[in-house]
């Protein structure tokens, strides 16, 4: 039997509130710019492209009654995350590992940017996932080599900042290079943030902004995590020509950037929902980072302390956790966090939790039907034991998906078409 239905409904309603607060359809339109004298070139990439693109089209075509001939562009989203559009072609591409569609989407975006004139406006609608959806391998680097490097980085335990520092050196579109392609046309980027600290240089590898990291930083990441690179990639990391444009570069002077939704919005909404339900909502921050099982141990200790103090409370956190893959199982950071939390709590009564990625998928094989996370309660370990499942063994094998799948406790909302990182909620009810 899975988590009690009423408890499951309570936990999933809190997760849904977090997602709702970050939907671009409600936050994008107020920031959309006026039409330029020339064309509007709309370039969208990432997991929210399927919601951002139609919202922008409807605004210009229906609210402003703009001639469709003045609007062009291309959009790309993760497979299963696209949506019907009216003018701008929508491509679906690989994530987290790029594919041939990622290369096609980047090629078309760069062509449109290079064709922009000074009276045009390049409007970039950006969200997390854009790093994999826009792939333009530099030098002699092949798509297969780029895919291999991506897999190695994802399995290494490197943070998203470290991963993107490397990816910028291997690409013709990341690290400010899309804005360089559009120069001297003005560029406005409206972004949904999925990174701790909301750093524009990290969101989708910062294709339209300056980058303070260096080639030496990228090489240090490769060394730190023991990544083996093909010669084509090593040559790029050692080439001065692949250094990214830095703050103050005059070619980026006409590129502006605004964030329209961020992890803090989701955490605040989840905390507000918990408060409305009568819990003392305690935010641990929207930018929590670290190894998923290690963070779970720390949060379990906080939860037990609150219960011992007799407090009816909710611990709410966001951010992006990492998993160092040593086993052969299936999973993702949110599911591994949930499994680690269940083990750390050891069946403590009165404590339940949900951990889910606001984009609707957590790790997995790249399908839109992959789970977003998982739920636990005081019976999780006992139910697993009755099924003959070794929870600690599954964690060691990085098989959190298999564990929660057997219990019926996966969180599977499907594509949300937004992406503001994880939302984790622990409910304590003495």
Fold of the domain built from segment(s) 23-136+171-210+245-261: Rossmann fold (3.40.50)
The pLDDT of 292-318, averaged and rounded, is 98
Q: Which helix (H) or strand (E) holds 93?
A: strand 90-93
The pLDDT of 356-384, averaged and rounded, is 94
pTM of the model: 0.91
The pLDDT of 120-142, averaged and rounded, is 96
Q: Which of 324, 305, 325, 322 is nearest to 313 (CA)?
A: 305
The tens digit of pLDDT for each residue in 190-207 reads 999 998 889 999 999 999
Q: Does domain 5-19+264-428 have CATH number 3.40.1480.10?
A: yes
CATH 3.40.50.10180 in the chain: give the residue spans: 23-136+171-210+245-261
- DSSP class of 197: G
- DSSP class of 97: S
The tens digit of pLDDT for each residue in 404-424 reads 999 999 999 999 999 999 999
CATH 3.40.1480.10 in the chain: give the residue spans: 5-19+264-428
The tens digit of pLDDT for each residue in 151-165 reads 999 889 898 889 999
The pLDDT of 183-193, averaged and rounded, is 97
Report residue 53 CA to chain centroid gap.
18
Q: Give yes or no for a contact between 376 and 353, defined as CB atoms under 8 angstroms apart.
A: yes
The tens digit of pLDDT for each residue in 43-94 reads 999 999 999 999 999 999 999 999 999 999 999 999 999 999 999 999 999 9
With a cut of 90, say whether residue 12 has pLDDT above it.
yes
Strand partners, 315: 282, 426
pLDDT of residue 1: 72
pLDDT of residue 3: 86
The tens digit of pLDDT for each residue in 312-333 reads 999 999 999 999 999 999 999 9
CB atoms within 10 A of CB 275: 13
Q: Which of 43, 51, 42, 59 is nearest to 19 (CA)?
A: 51
Question: Residue 184, SS3?
Answer: coil
């Amino acid at each position: 039997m899975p988590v009690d239905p009423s408890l499951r409904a309570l936990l999933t309603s809190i997760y849904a509130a977090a997602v709702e607060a970050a939907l671009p359809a409600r936050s994008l339109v107020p920031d959309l710019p006026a039409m330029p004298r020339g064309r509007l070139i709309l370039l969208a990439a990432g997991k929210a492209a399927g919601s951002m693109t139609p919202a922008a089209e409807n605004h210009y075509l229906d609210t402003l009654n703009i001639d469709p001939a003045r609007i062009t562009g291309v959009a790309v989203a993760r497979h299963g995350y696209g949506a019907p559009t009216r003018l701008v072609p929508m491509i679906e591409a690989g994530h987290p590992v790029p594919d041939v569609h990622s290369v096609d989407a980047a090629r078309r975006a760069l062509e449109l940017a290079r064709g922009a004139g000074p009276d045009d406006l390049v409007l970039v609608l950006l969200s997390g996932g854009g790093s994999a959806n826009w792939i333009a391998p530099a030098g002699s680097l092949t798509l297969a080599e780029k895919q291999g490097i991506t897999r190695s980085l994802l399995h290494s335990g490197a943070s998203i900042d470290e991963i993107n520092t490397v990816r910028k050196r291997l690409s013709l579109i990341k690290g400010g290079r899309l804005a360089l392609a559009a120069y001297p046309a003005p560029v406005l980027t409206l972004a949904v943030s999925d990174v701790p600290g909301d750093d524009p240089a990290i969101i989708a590898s910062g294709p339209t902004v300056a980058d303070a990291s260096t080639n030496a930083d990228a090489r240090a990441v490769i060394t730190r995590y023991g990544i083996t690179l093909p010669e084509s990639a090593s040559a790029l990391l050692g080439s001065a020509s692949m250094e990214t444009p830095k703050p103050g570069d005059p070619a980026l002077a006409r590129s502006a950037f605004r964030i329209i939704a961020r992890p803090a919005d989701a955490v605040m909404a989840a905390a507000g929902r918990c408060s409305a339900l009568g819990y003392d909502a305690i935010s641990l921050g929207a930018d929590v980072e670290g190894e998923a099982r290690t963070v779970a141990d720390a949060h379990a200790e906080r939860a037990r302390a609150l219960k011992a103090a007799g407090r009816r409370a909710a611990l709410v956190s966001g951010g992006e956790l990492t998993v160092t893959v040593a086993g052969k199982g299936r999973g993702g950071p949110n599911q591994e966090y949930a499994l680690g939390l269940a083990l750390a709590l050891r069946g403590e009564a009165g404590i339940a939790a949900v951990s889910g990625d606001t984009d609707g998928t957590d790790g997995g094989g790249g399908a839109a039907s992959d789970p977003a996370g998982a739920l636990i309660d005081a019976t999780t370990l006992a139910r697993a034991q009755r099924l003959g499942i070794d929870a600690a063994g599954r964690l060691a094998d990085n098989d959190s998906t298999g564990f929660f799948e057997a219990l019926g406790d996966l969180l599977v909302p499907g594509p949300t078409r937004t992406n503001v990182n994880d939302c984790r909620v622990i409910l304590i009810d003495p």
